[in-house]
Amino acid sequence: MVGLLCGGVSIFAQDFVIPEPALQNAIARSLGVSERSLSKSLVEKKLLRLQANDLAIRDLTGLEHATNLESLVLRDNLIDDLSPIQNLSKLKNLDLSGNRLTSLRTLAPLAAPSLRILNLSRNRLLGLSGIDGFRALAQLDVSSNALIDLEGVGKLRGLVNLYAQGNQLGRVEKFADRNRNKEFDVDETFTDESGNGKRDTDPLIELKGMPKLASLHLYDNRIVMLDQLSDLPSLHTLLLSGNMIEEILPLSRFESLKILALGNNRIHTLKGLHDLKNLERLNLSENQICDLRVLRDLNKLNALDLNTNLITDVSDLAGLSKIHTLGLSRNLIRDPSPVLSLPNLRRIILSFNQIPADRVRVKDQLAQAQVRGVYLNLRSQSGYRPKVNSLVRSLIGHPQSNVMLGNLLRQQGYACFIDLLLDNNIKEEDIDAACQAWEAAFKFDRSLSDLPFPGK
């Protein structure tokens, strides 16, 4: 028995110590051997793929010997130190999502020349300093972190898919305004949260000159401007919902786009979409859109989401013959007939509008659509509100008035106009009176702040 055990460590593992039992077990299972049979030599030569998810692993010691490892998946663990895997130069796929990484400091030296897919989502990253060393990346997922910049991503010229949703892109780092001019001066100190040594003001400055980038996910951030986004000739999917974007004119340069999501922003004019003739799916929900004329010539659209806007007239959509899914709920539509006869329509949402479904003509049109197999959602229609609709029509062609109204509503705690209309705590007549007063203020160039807000 002497020699079989030494200090509680099996002789089979004397040259190969793995502190984490869960990691040791996962390696053994991946190799199809017992834990007693593990050795440094076996791991070096045979371990090509390893998956060890949700095992509370903290320490990766032992993996430094897996020099032929090509795929490493360690989702939902407690990892914050990647130094043991720095020299695994044959890695092609590395998934570290759902861990405790705060920086790429212990990962950057890896720079595996063959690494194609890197998933760092759901960690605690504030910056990406060091990411530029991974020049072979085709797919990078840094979603659901706390990123305020994308430093280094622009040097990944081979990147095809970038997932950066659910971060804080657009949030500007605080600075010490010593001279109280409310502007950042070069000699003033700032909080370098991302660790890149400079004050970040526009996270999109990195996203230019990337010839292969095809899919870009930036939704649920704090992005305000799109001006820096440029020179992405292969881009076909751009997801920007859940930001604070007002102007979308810079998007006119991306004529290759097929899928565009801009829901839940502050968009008041569609100027910039006219040239995007290849668009097939477009999400514009939860904005301040009242003028649809720009959409007339987007003939390849098959799915269009305009829920929760300021739409009174849908006649500009009558020529979009490929549309099969159309969202128009939570608007001010009275006459849906221009879109009910679209030849490929299969689903249309018209809830929370002003459609008089009991009128014979409208009733017949709705019935004919249902006979063709169109799914209709018409629940919760309200009566016609002339003063409300008049105000909204007055905004068409006057985007600055639209901006002013949106700002006023947000100041009063309303994300959109329809939320005010559906507020049961405010009388309809008070809202109607306010709409009449706001329209007059726009007409005579007066400030809305001088007018009483309904219910206040």
What local confidence, expressed as pLDDT, does residue 422 receive? 92
Q: How confident is the model at residue 176 (pLDDT cuts 50, 70, 90)?
A: very low
Does 412 fall in a domain? yes
pLDDT tens, residue by residue, 408-432:
999 999 999 999 999 999 999 999 9
88: left (phi over 0), alpha (psi -120 to 50) or beta: beta
- Judge whether 92 and 117 are in contact, CB under 8 Å: yes
Instruction: Say which residue, 190 or 344, is predicted with more confidence.
Output: 344
Does 275 fall in a domain? no
Does 440 fall in a domain? yes
Q: Residue 3: is its pLDDT beyond 50? A: no
Question: What percentage of residues in the chain have a pLDDT greater than 70?
Answer: 89
Q: Residue 36: is its pLDDT beyond 50? A: yes
Does 406 fall in a domain? yes
Does 419 fall in a domain? yes
What local confidence, expressed as pLDDT, does residue 304 receive? 99
What local confidence, expressed as pLDDT, does residue 195 receive? 57
Q: Residue 173: is its pLDDT beyond 60? A: no
**Range of lowest pLDDT (7-16, 194-203, 352-361, 400-409):** 7-16
pLDDT tens, residue by residue, 68-96:
999 999 999 999 999 999 999 999 999 99
Q: Residue 98: is its pLDDT beyond 60? A: yes
Tokens 């990411």 — which residue? 131
CA distance 166 to 121: 9
What local confidence, expressed as pLDDT, does residue 358 receive? 81
Does 189 fall in a domain? no
Does 207 fall in a domain? no
CA distance 377 to 17: 63
pLDDT tens, residue by residue, 102-159:
998 888 666 678 999 999 999 999 999 889 989 999 999 999 999 999 999 999 999 9
What local confidence, expressed as pLDDT, does residue 169 receive? 96
- What is the sign, positive or negative, of the torsion defined by CA atoms of 184, 188, 190, 194? positive
Distances (CA, A) of 73 to 34, 113, 131, 288: 21, 18, 19, 43
Q: Residue 333: is its pLDDT beyond 90? A: yes
How big is the chain by its Cα radius of gyration, in Å? 28
Does 321 fall in a domain? no
What local confidence, expressed as pLDDT, does residue 179 receive? 57
Q: Residue 190: is its pLDDT beyond 60? A: no
- Judge whether 227 and 205 are in contact, CB under 8 Å: no
What local confidence, expressed as pLDDT, does residue 178 receive? 57
Q: How confident is the model at residue 186 (pLDDT cuts 50, 70, 90)?
A: low
- Judge whether 214 and 234 are in contact, CB under 8 Å: yes
Q: Residue 339: is its pLDDT beyond 90? A: yes
Q: Residue 320: is its pLDDT beyond 90? A: yes
Q: Which residue from 416, 259, 391, 261 is spatially nearest to 330, judged by alpha carbons?
A: 416
What local confidence, expressed as pLDDT, does residue 171 receive? 82
Q: How many domains does the chain have?
A: 1
Which residues span the domain enclosing 408?
Answer: 386-450
Q: Per-residue pLDDT averaged across 16-29, rounded? A: 93
